[in-house]
Amino acid sequence: MGTRLVIATTEELPEAEPHLVVHDGVPYCVVKIGGEVKAYVAVCPHKDLAIVPLRLKRGRILCPHHGATFDPGTGKVVDDAGKDVPCGLCKVDVETDHDGLLCIEARKRHRKMLKKKERKRVEQAASKA
- The CATH number that applies at residue 100 is 2.102.10.10
pLDDT band at 119 (very low <50, low <70, confident <90, very high): very high
pLDDT band at 62 (very low <50, low <70, confident <90, very high): very high
Query: From start to end of the chain, where are the E strands?
Result: 3-9, 19-23, 26-33, 36-41, 43-44, 49-50, 55-57, 60-62, 69-70, 77-79, 90-92, 94-96, 101-106
Q: Report whether 114 contacts 48 (CB < 8 A).
A: yes
* Alpha helical stretches, state H, the chain: 108-111, 116-128
Q: How far apart are the first and last CA of the chain?
A: 29
Distance of CA 20 to the CA centre of its chain: 7
Q: What is the pLDDT of residue 48?
A: 92
Count of domains in the chain? 1
Alpha-carbon gap, residue 84 to 10, rounded angstroms: 34
Other C-beta atoms closer than 10 Å to the C-beta of 127 total 8
Domain span at 97: 3-128
- 87-110 pLDDT, tens digit per residue, is 999 999 999 999 989 999 999 999
Average pLDDT, integer, range 105-128: 94
Answer whether residue 129 shows pLDDT above 80: no
Q: What is the largest CA-CA distance in the chain?
A: 45
Alpha-carbon gap, residue 27 to 113, rounded angstroms: 10
Answer whether residue 1 shows pLDDT above 80: no
pLDDT band at 81 (very low <50, low <70, confident <90, very high): confident
